[in-house]
Amino acid sequence: MATTSAEYIQHHLQNLTFGKLPAGYQRADGSIVEETTWTLARTSSEAADMGFMAFHVDTLGWSIFMGLIFIGLFRFVASRATVYTPSGLQNFVEIVVEFVQGIVKDTFHGRNPLIAPLALTIFVWIFLMNSLKWIPVDYIPGLGMALGLDYFKIVPTTDPNATFGMSIAVFALIIYYSIKIKGVGGFTKELTLTPFNHWALIPFNLFLEVLGLLTKPLSLALRLFGNMYAGEVVFILIALLPFYVQWALNVPWAIFHILVIPLQAFIFMVLTVVYLSAAHEDHH
């Protein structure tokens, strides 16, 4: 249980981690792990010692849950869609679909039936994950403590594992379509002879192009993570203030996030479409 401000902040920023502890490891309560075992971390140091192969259970759980809400909601609306007396929910979903479709038409210059559904999924899914930030910071960790969980974060996009997971998936699509549209030779030529079309400058071109290619997933992941994580920290700091001050600051900050939450989902979607559009351009 957190007793100081620093411990409170650390507790609310720590993920529920499931990973492997080696035999002989001494846990926070003084007990010794007799044999290598997979278990939930009880402290942040245990989570760190679990290494790269540990899982953030709360991030996975909430992101999957938000994804299921997206699929279920849109399937529900699609199965009951009508042209005569559309419901308010159908009108809202149609507005979202038409909005994303318009962005794709204006931004994507190739021909690929995957791009519009992908853009819609990214926008709505990230928006739903970001929107969990509107839940007061103590509610979900408190629920986790009541269930016997030492840590329980709720906003998946404040975890770099989630944002990098999405950006790496987009990066894989960029590479796939770059090779599919341009061919291995065309993609290689683009990397080695752009921007300077001379054999002597191939190393310099390759450095610039590979660097530019790698910054795409980095920019996607870090922009989303940085904005959402910073907002989460501010909410936690506000929660440490006296009750009457909390209400004076929480409400304006929550209203500000009415803009931030969809904006970050929109930026991630637009950059994804832009990057995939560039991957579909065959200059030869």
Listed by start position, the domains of the chain span 58-280
CA distance 108 to 274: 6
Residue 227 annotated as catalytic: yes
pLDDT at 103: 95
Query: Side by side, which strands form the sheet with 55-56?
Result: 37-40, 17-21, 55-56
Q: What is the pLDDT of residues 119-163, one digit of tens each?
A: 999 999 999 999 998 888 888 888 888 888 889 999 999 999 999
Instruction: State whether residue 18 is helix, strand or coil.
Output: strand
Burial of 163 (0-12, 13-18, 19+ CB in 10 A): buried
* pLDDT over threshold 60, residue 282: yes
Set 131, 219, 250, 277: catalytic member: 219
Q: Which amino acid is at 238?
A: I
Q: What is the pLDDT of residues 189-244, one digit of tens each?
A: 888 888 888 778 888 989 999 999 999 999 999 999 999 999 999 888 888 888 77
What tokens appear for 62 in the block?
């909430």
Set 42, 112, 223, 277: catalytic member: 223
* φ, ψ at 189 (rounded to 5°): -65, -40
CA distance 214 to 72: 34
Residue 223 annotated as catalytic: yes
pLDDT at 214: 92
Angle at alpha carbon of residue 200, lines to 197 and 201, rounded to 5°: 60
8 Å CB contact between 17 and 56: yes
* pLDDT over threshold 90, residue 248: no
CA distance 162 to 225: 9
pTM value is 0.91
Residue 250 annotated as catalytic: no
8 Å CB contact between 271 and 220: yes
Set 15, 130, 178, 227: catalytic member: 227
